[in-house]
Amino acid sequence: MRRTLIPALVAVGAMTGTTAATSLDIQYLGVDSLGTYHIRVDGSNKHVYAGRMTYRVDSGSHGSFTPGTSFYSFCVDLDQLVKSEPKPYDVHTNGAGEGLGIDDLAADTGGMGETRAKALSYLFLNHFEDAVSGSDRKASAFQLAVWEIIYEGTDSESLGTLNINQGDFKVTGGNDDAIDDAQDLLDEIAGLNGAFGDISNLLVGFGSTQYQDQLTLIPLPAPVLMGLAGFGLAAVARRRMRKG
């Protein structure tokens, strides 16, 4: 069984209430990246691919995620790897009645917390479309920005300095243009001074205790997506995902 050296998201947080988490089997299909990036996180050096990842639902369903549906995603954890065969994942959303929230992801750090989840919600609502439909450079930049938000600073409710070149998470090598683009995204996040809006119900996470966790956004037409980002709405009507 082939293991791929791509960082992944970890684990599952505690369930809320009595609602059981929805589980799906999803399969890793590949990553679009500009190549290897050298990073340093929590004092350890890693060589990773940074880009948009493609998964396909093998069995189970949750809303638009039905068997055969493929989707792009980005990882929020650097401690796990992926396998190129279907694996079980729990679904994380902030929708009504769900058992696991977006803030429970990245459980290796105790969960990302609400502040990071809100910052990522803003990032996904405003820039996910470019990251998945644009160039590999944009995809790499987006992934690097996601990791900086997750790993910079030790307090789950503080985003730290959001400088891609220094701190608890930093990029020490890779495509310079993508690294610069990532910093532009982070500067935009920092400039909001915490006014990120709510955690969108459009965000969907896939969490596993053994394999790479993923975070994605249910696709919407660009004008609708821009409107959601501007108003920080937490819930909208879902549309069917694009088929791969």
Task: Report if residue 240 sits inside a domain.
Answer: no
Domain that holds residue 72: 3-231
pLDDT level of residue 80 (50, 70, 90 thresholds) = confident
CA distances from 126 to 30, 145, 185, 226 (A): 24, 13, 10, 7
Task: Select from 199, 195, 243 the least CA-distant residue to 219.
Answer: 243
Task: Report if residue 241 sits inside a domain.
Answer: no
Higher per-residue confidence, 227 vs 60: 60
Task: Report if residue 18 sits inside a domain.
Answer: yes
State residue 213's pLDDT score. 85
Which single residue is written with the structure tokens 């004008």? 223
State residue 220's pLDDT score. 55
Task: Report if residue 31 sits inside a domain.
Answer: yes
Indicate the pTM of the whole model: 0.82
Task: Report if residue 184 sits inside a domain.
Answer: yes
Q: What is the average pLDDT across 21-37? A: 92
Q: How far apart are CA 105 and CA 113, in angstroms?
A: 8
Helices (H), the chain: 113-133, 136-151, 176-191, 222-231
State residue 18's pLDDT score. 37
Task: Report if residue 51 sits inside a domain.
Answer: yes
pLDDT at 146 over 90: yes
Q: How many domains does the chain have?
A: 1
Q: What is the average pLDDT across 16-42? A: 83
pLDDT, tens digit, 9 for 90 and up, residues 188-203? 999 999 999 999 999 9
pLDDT, tens digit, 9 for 90 and up, residues 154-167? 676 778 889 999 99
Task: Report if residue 69 sits inside a domain.
Answer: yes
